[in-house]
Structure 1
Amino acid sequence: MMEIHEKKFDCPVTATLELIGGRWKAPILFYLSKGTRRFGQIDATISGISRKVLTEQLKDLEKDGLIIREYYKELPPRVEYSLTEFGQSLSSVFNAMVHWANENLVKK
């Protein structure tokens, strides 16, 4: 399978959505933009996502180079997720989305 970074896109929006599109990736990335989180914290914060789907989405985001998964050999084991520098580069995108939502969707 060709990596996302090697694909050619005619539209930059399509390229971005290829990475962060779908129901869950953007909310996960937005939440992780606030700092490092454990799996249980992500699961508790993003309502409506099953643990199986969350696991799959985190694996996809890690494969695409947007997040880092750190495993600590402790009892019980601890796993933390954080954004890579590449993932952090999406902060301005999410900030723009928050601004747009506040201006257009949130009732005052």
Structure 2
Amino acid sequence: MGTGFLADCPARLAVEVLADKWAAVTLFALNESPRRHGELAAAIGGVSRKVLTHTLRRLEEYGLVERRSPTAGHAEYALTELGRTLVEPIETLNDWSATYGPAVSDFHDRA
């Protein structure tokens, strides 16, 4: 692991970005194509428009998502090139969850 302090671990940034409950799913939903706010909310499901707006703004602040206005009055959101770099790690987390999620849930239920 090296001689650096764990407080300086670069993975902390990734965890900070993805710690928001809706961040990973929002990024993943934008992987297919840019979407308008309502389309994105429908694709994700279960997220309020207010929370989605907050999530999108936060992802914009990290440079992962951009807000575009292709036509007057209609904004859409798209992944930036930097945002696209998180798609593969999110897919890996998804695969891990599909494989090990039941074991984690079983353990949690027994605790």
> Structure 1-normalised TM-score?
0.78
Distance in 1 separating the partners of 2:68 and 2:18 = 21
Measure, in 1, the Cα distance between the counterparts of 2:47 and 2:24: 13
How big is each residue's C-alpha offset from its partner over 1:66-92, in whole Å with a ceiling of 9 and x where there is no partner? 011002453xx2111111111001122
Once the 2 structures are TM-superposed, how far is the Cα of residue 103 of structure 1 from its aligned partner?
A: 2.5
Total equivalences in the alignment? 97
Is it true that 1:93 corresponds to 2:89 in the alignment? yes
User: C-alpha distance in 1, partners of 2:93/2:39?
Assistant: 23
In the alignment, is residue 29 of structure 1 matched against residue 27 of structure 2? yes
| TM-score calculated relative to the size of structure 2 | 0.76
Following the alignment from structure 1 to structure 2, what is the Cα–Cα distance between the partners of residues 40 and 31? 12
Q: Which of structure 1's runs of 4+ aligned residues deviate more than 4 A?
A: none
* Unmatched tracts of structure 1, length 5 or more: 1-8
Does residue 83 (structure 1) correspond to residue 79 (structure 2)? The answer is yes
Map of 1:25-104 to 2, 5 A cutoff?
25-74=23-72, 77-104=73-100
AA at the equivalent of 1:90: L
Percent of matched pairs sharing the same residue: 36
Bigger fraction of residues in helix: 2
* Equivalent position of 2:107 in the other structure: none
Q: Distance in 2 between matches of 1:66 and 1:95?
A: 16
Kindly report the root-mean-square deviation, in angstroms, between the aligned alpha carbons of the 2 structures.
1.9
Over 3 Å counting, the alpha-carbon distance change for 1:73 and 1:92 in structure 2 is closer
Is there any run of 5+ residues in structure 2 with no aligned partner, and where?
1-6, 103-111
